A and B are shown apart, each in its own frame.
Chain A
Amino acid sequence: MFEYAPAPESRAIVDIKPSYGLFINGEFVDGNGTSFKTVNPATEEVLAEVAEASDVDVDEAVKAARRAYTRVWSRMSGAERAKYLYRIARIIQERGRELAVLESIDNGKPIKESRDVDVPIVAAHFFYYAGWADKLKYSGYGETPLGVAGQVIPWNFPLLMLAWKIAPALACGNTVVLKPAETTPLTALLFAEICQQADLPPGVVNIVTGAGDTGRSIVSHPDVDKVAFTGSTEVGKAIARAVAGSDKKVTLELGGKAANIVFDDAPLDQAVEGIVNGIFFNQGHVCCAGSRLLVQESVADEVMSRLKRRMATLRVGDPLDKNTDVGAINSAEQLAKIRELSAIGESEGAERWSAPCDLPANGYWFAPTVFTGVSQAHRIAREEIFGPVLSVLTFRTPSEAVEKANNTPFGLSAGVWTDKGSRILSMANRLRAGVVWANTFNKFDPTSPFGGYKESGYGREGGRHGLEAYLRNTEKGADA
């Protein structure tokens, strides 16, 4: 293996303030709550103090969003709304490097991912939905907005999840109150600045920072017409209960335990790259991660030896180093959860192997890890670990692969690796999952709907389908 010299991306491009307020009605305000610290997970350095929005602050934000909706945004033509969204897309491109560096600092993800995946897709998402704003009558979902959308997003793709939420909401004529995750608020706050640069009318986008209480306050606010949440299945269920009996429209993008299925005729080197991308992309902090490898028995040994060889070459370390493949675990809390489930994997009898790598002394780190000898009943085969931990099971027939893949309460994504076209289509039909990647994995695009079956949630984000969540069904005969 080659030795690589350090190739750090400069962080001089970002200007992190010592403290941040809430972005309400187009301005940064102090808020009435306490504050919390956001840290760099790669170093444990405190980056900034961030205001924690109280119920009163959330109420202010919802009022601002309602005013903006009633007086400005719902009255504006789609063509004019589109221009604001195009502006935002362009500013994101212009400030792309800054956003990428800040994302990697606050989140811990490798700069090559924030720079080459997150930020470009964020800009593309705004660009895509901008174009819908004046074409909604062709969408099939009508063109009537819902009103104020309350949106709560996770820490694994902070800016990308913001784009998935805000872009379609605004394109459809809604205004938003969005809460970023408490461990990754900084790029959302920089996005607020971008809204100011774009001269977006005050109140159309409001960003309130905080933790679970702030999220609950948004979801249960009586003047919120729409709730959009991405995060854990547990919280998703709590939200579904909280909105019961109301008129709120809800979409939920929740957990997953995706099967990545490798048949014996698959091009194995490509499949190994897909397995690595499936589970180690973004440290495995991916709801659609291919966290269960189902490999056909006849090639299991070969796949495992190639996989371990490949895992040994993964570079784990400084997220800002351009050669880094695997960055830091996002928080101490998440690291503890990954460690706990991995320990359970061992105690339940699975065999653990971790890539040999030196982990930095400070920060939150977990070496890429694979478990073999995993059975369907093991907790590491059933529960979402949300970290760089792969559980390997084997199968003999396509039907057994389908049976095992579908044997989960989740249904977000799945992968299939085979050279046989008819088998790909048959597997794609039989897998109960919202996204099926065949001979590829973890691909995302603004035009492509994303979302789950079963306990992975409901609703789709992306594509024409993504508009449905933000429009009122007014079709003839509709009684919803």
Chain B
Amino acid sequence: MSRIDVRKTYKLYIGGQFPRSESGRSFVVNDAKGRLLANAAQASRKDARDAVVAARAAFGGWSGRTAYNRAQVVYRIAEVLEGRREQFEAELRAAEGITPARARSYVDAAIDRLVWYAGWADKITQVVGNANPVAGPYFNLSTPEPSGVIAVVAPRGPLLGLVSVVAPLIVTGNTVVVIASQDNPLTAITLGEVMATSDLPGGVVNVLTGSQSEIAPWLASHMDVNGIDLTGVEDAELATELEVAAADNLKRVRRPAPDTDWLAEPGLDRMTQFLETKTVWHPIGV
């Protein structure tokens, strides 16, 4: 008789922990052929708020780390992901019904993207900062700083899409609450397991699974969220509603990007959109 396998319970990833939704709700996630894969936690408003609290608590420490240290942590995520690549390939094949070669290419690209962004941690300041030659005896320097807590609506790509929107935010020192793809949420939680074992401090990335249209408005109107990335919002009306709600505290808003080619090399804009520029003046004299 064959062995009965031990199935995984997919929960949320908040503050470095894997809690169930406080609402006690779950929803069915099927594979590409419509067979049950698992029940995923259906996050509630309270879960979203808990995630923001965790992200805010993590922000000071994470943004205060040296860029070199953040680079190593993001690189470490890539290392751990590489070590568990077969699990991710299997998950992608099951969830999306894609070929082994295609699944492998997505995992390759996700790992490489993490490595690419990891290297930016201690370079972005040099590329987008400036020494300013003011017309007077003053030292004048502009440097980028993270905007704070960023809410992200992740695109469909359950691994590469997710990594492509989260990595640029955390490498610069932001902390994140991400709503995983509603159709393929399970990989996001497995990626949470990778992050939880990669020296990433709890709360830097928080993953919610559930209904995008239910959770996103709470994050868009949350007064302790500094920015919102609407990349994965496919409903134009919902995107507009979220942008309107985001104006309550002037969140930095990234509008939806339905046709993004996630395999292409990204530019800087996913990092720079959620960076502030701080300019410091000091007199020069003896």
Interface 1/0s, chain A 216-240, versus B by CB < 8 A?
Answer: 0000000000000000010011101
Residue B5 CB within 8 A of the other chain: no
A116 touches B (CB below 8 Å)? no
A477 partner, pick from B127, B133, B236, B265, beta carbons under 8 A: B265
Question: Using a Cβ cutoff of 8 Å, how many contacts connect chains A and B?
Answer: 128
Assuming the contacts A237-B248, A458-B250, asked whether A477 and B277 have C-beta atoms less than 8 A apart, the reply is: no
- Complex interface bits, B215-251 against A, C-beta within 8 A gives 1, otherwise 0: 0000000000010000000001001100110111110
**Interface status of B273 (Cβ within 8 A of chain A):** yes
How distant is the Cα of A245 from the Cα of B276 in the complex, in angstroms? Answer: 23
Chain B residues, Cβ within 8 Å of A238: 247
Count of chain A residues with a beta carbon within 8 Å of a chain B beta carbon: 47
Report the separation of the CA atoms of residues A451 and B267 in the bound assembly, to the nearest whole angstrom. 24
B279 touches A449 (CB 8 A): yes
Given contacts A447-B135, A453-B147, A454-B226, 5 further A-B contacts (CB under 8 A): A140-B128, A443-B134, A454-B249, A476-B267, A478-B269
The answer to the question of A244 belonging to the interface, with a C-beta cut-off of 8 Å to chain B, is yes
> Within the complex, what minimum Cβ distance (angstroms) separates A409 from chain B?
7
A254 within 8 A of B: yes
Q: Is B132 on the interface with A (CB-CB < 8 A)? A: yes
Chain A residues closer than 8 Å to B255, beta-carbon distance:
480
B281 and A443 contact, CB distance less than 8 A: yes
A477 to B117, CA, bound (A): 14
Are the CB atoms of B250 and A233 closer together than 8 Å?
yes
Q: Does A252 contact B (CB under 8 A)?
A: yes
- Assuming the contacts A449-B277, A449-B279, asked whether A244 and B135 have C-beta atoms less than 8 A apart, the reply is no
Q: Would B142 and A463 count as touching, CB distance under 8 A?
A: yes
Taken together as a complex, chains A and B put the C-alpha atoms of A449 and B278 apart, in Å, by 8
With A244-B240, A445-B132, A480-B257 as known contacts, state yes or no: A236 contacts B250, CB within 8 Å.
yes
B247 pairs with A435, CB closer than 8 A: no
Cβ of B142: which chain A residues have Cβ within 8 Å of it? Answer: 448-449, 463, 465
Q: Is B130 an interface residue (CB 8 A)?
A: yes
For the residues of A in contact with B, the DSSP-based class is loop
A159 contacts partner chain B, Cβ-Cβ < 8 Å: no
Q: Judging by beta carbons under 8 Å apart, are B138 and A440 in contact? A: yes
Contact with B along A415-443 (1 / 0, CB 8 A): 00000000010001000011111111001
Closest chain A residue, CB of each to CB of B282? A438
Residues of B contacting A354 in the complex (Cβ-Cβ under 8 angstroms)? none
A-side contacts of B239, CB under 8 Å: 245
Q: Which residues of A contact B266 (CB under 8 A)?
A: 477
B70 within 8 A of A: no
C-alpha spacing A446/B134, complex, angstroms: 7
Question: In the complex, what distance in Å separates the CA atom of A433 from the CA atom of B135?
Answer: 23
Please state if B140 and A445 are interface contacts (CB–CB under 8 Å). Answer: yes
Can you list, as one digit per residue, whether each of B37-73 has a CB less than 8 Å from chain A (1) or not (0)? 0000000000000000000000000000000000000
Provide the residues of chain B in CB contact with A445, threshold 8 Å: 132, 134-136, 138, 140
B130 engages A465 (CB within 8 Å): yes
- Specify which of A252, A434, A437, A464 is in contact with B250 (CB 8 Å cutoff): A252
Is the pair A473, B269 in contact by a Cβ cutoff of 8 Å? yes
B226 to chain A, nearest CB (A): 7
Contact, CB under 8 Å: B134 / A245: no
A465 CA / B138 CA spacing, docked (Å):
19
A460 to B130, CA, bound (A): 13
**Cβ-defined contact, B249 with A409, below 8 A:** yes
User: Complex Cα distance A440/B281, Å?
Assistant: 7
Enumerate B258-279 residues with CB–CB distance to A below 8 Å.
Answer: 259-260, 264-269, 273, 276-279
Contact with B along A34-67 (1 / 0, CB 8 A): 0000000000000000000000000000000000
Residues 20-43 of chain B, each 1 if its beta carbon lies under 8 Å from chain A, else 0: 000000000000000000000000
Q: Which listed residue (B138, B249, B254, B277) contacts A443, Cβ 8 A?
A: B138
Instruction: Indicate whether B252 reaches chain A with its CB closer than 8 angstroms.
Output: yes
Smallest CB–CB gap between A471 and chain B, Å? Answer: 12
Is A180 interfacial (CB 8 A cutoff)? no
CA distance A477 to B239 in the complex (A): 22
Instruction: Given A124-B135, A448-B279, A477-B265, check contact A237 B128 (CB 8 Å).
Output: no
> Is A450 in contact with B279, judged by CB distance below 8 angstroms?
yes
Tell me whether B283 is interfacial, beta carbon within 8 Å.
yes
**Residue of A with least CB distance to B227:** A458
Q: Which residue of A lies closest to B129 (CB)?
A: A465
Partner of A241, one of B130, B133, B247: B247
Contacts of A358 in B (CB 8 A): none
Is A457 an interface residue, CB under 8 A from the partner?
yes
Q: Which residues of B contact A245 (CB under 8 A)?
A: 236, 239-240, 243-244
